[in-house]
Amino acid sequence: MFDFEKLNVYKKAKELNKEVISFLRSSKSTDSYIRDQLKRASISTVINIAEGSGKFSRADKRNFYIISRGSVYECVSLLELILEDNLMSQEQFNDFYRKHEEISKMLLGLINSQR
């Protein structure tokens, strides 16, 4: 088993990525650029956690966790744009928001632990 597979934040980010991808598949009316960007940011969240966990220095690990957290922020801003275009319900947005916020806080804990 790889180290990243043991991290709760990795597991949660991977599960949330599946939910985002499923939403995007069902949301054909969302602008293709926003759809692509949200997919990339969601995937980036997951893969940067994995890559960071494999680094040896604290600074390298921290950098990848920071990048991952930035991707979480990107996801939330894109979801806001989708909401503002009335292409998602407020309830669905709130659920995505809450899950992204939880991952962001978990990543902040990882970032702070690498100082």
The band of 99, judged by pLDDT with boundaries at 50, 70 and 90, is: very high
pLDDT value of position 28: 86
Q: Domain residues for 27?
A: 3-113
pTM of the model: 0.97
* Residue 73, domain CATH: 1.20.1440.60
Longest alpha-carbon distance in the chain: 45
| Span 49-62, average pLDDT | 98
Q: What percent of the chain has pLDDT over 90?
A: 99
Strand segments, DSSP code E, in the chain are none
pLDDT in tens, 24-43: 999 989 999 999 999 999 99
Sign of CA dihedral 12, 17, 18, 24: positive
Domains identified in the chain, total number: 1
The phi-psi region of residue 57 (left if phi > 0; otherwise alpha if psi is between -120 and 50; otherwise beta) is beta
- C-alpha 56/C-alpha 59 separation (Å) is 9
pLDDT value of position 58: 97
